[in-house]
Amino acid sequence: MGISELFRLDGLAAVVTGSGQGIGRGIALGLAEAGADVVVSARRMSDLRETAALIEGAGRRAVIVEGDVRTPGMNDRLAAAAVEAFGHLDIWVNNVGGSTDKTTYTLSETSEDYWREMIELNLTAAFLGARAAAQRMADGGVIINIASGAGMRGSPRTGAYAAAKAGMINLTQTLAIELAPRVRVNTVSPGQVPTEAFSEVLKMGGDDTLRALAEATPLKRLGTPQDIAAAVVYLASPAASWVTGENLLVAGGRRERGGNVQRYG
């Protein structure tokens, strides 16, 4: 098999949570363009229909499952939908994350309810998704968790989110050991990707703010959903068959935190 063929996902079946828009939609479309059929899931049906249309436009099959991954049994529904529609489940991407409250808080200001919400959305949902996937995957399965650069360092005013994403990175490392050699598990940690949710959290001031953020990045630009999708396709493909338990930071070379900048996925 040639190098270019190692990046193909032909005949494989994937689930991508939080794939209605933004990074999740980019990942779902990237997997489809590499050859995979995809189960897409989010809370808004209108977004899911748009994502599914893009997948079908790439020549692959799409299955829509509307709902919230925090709902009991939802991850099992997603895994079962993949097996029912495609006959197997090969790739699972835990992309759901962020916050329903777009206000930021120091940890001393963080309420117990907000803390629990952030852990549930950004860590527990990934655990439940990985468990549902692992129980149904055959040998050669792949689980990819979407964390954040915030989980790799101190993160003032978004500490609950960052703690959950740090937990996701450790979750990945533990699952990689426990599920080896049958299933590979890796993390992708995006840097600043100006999605709708990112803009809401930062209350961005427009193009000047975006340019300033880009200028502070060694590669002098912000990320795109396609940048993250490319990393996911690599980790999902045979090209990464000897990679597990790793965290791939995709952030334009930027590792430090500047001001109150934070990516919510």
Which residues are annotated as catalytic? 161
Whole-number Å distance between alpha carbons of 140 and 136: 12
22 in the Ramachandran plot: left (φ > 0), alpha (ψ -120 to 50) or beta?
left
- Taken as a whole, the chain contains a residue count of 265
- Give backbone dihedrals phi and psi of 6, rounded to 5 degrees, phi first: -65, -20
What's the burial of 67, exposed, middle or buried (CB within 10 Å: 0-12/13-18/19+)?
A: middle
- Give backbone dihedrals phi and psi of 178, rounded to 5 degrees, phi first: -70, -35
Which of 43, 48, 49, 19 lies closest to 31 in space, CA to CA? 19
Which of 159, 130, 135, 157 lies closest to 145 in space, CA to CA? 130
Adjacent-strand bridge partners of 190? 250
Whole-number Å distance between alpha carbons of 58 and 67: 24
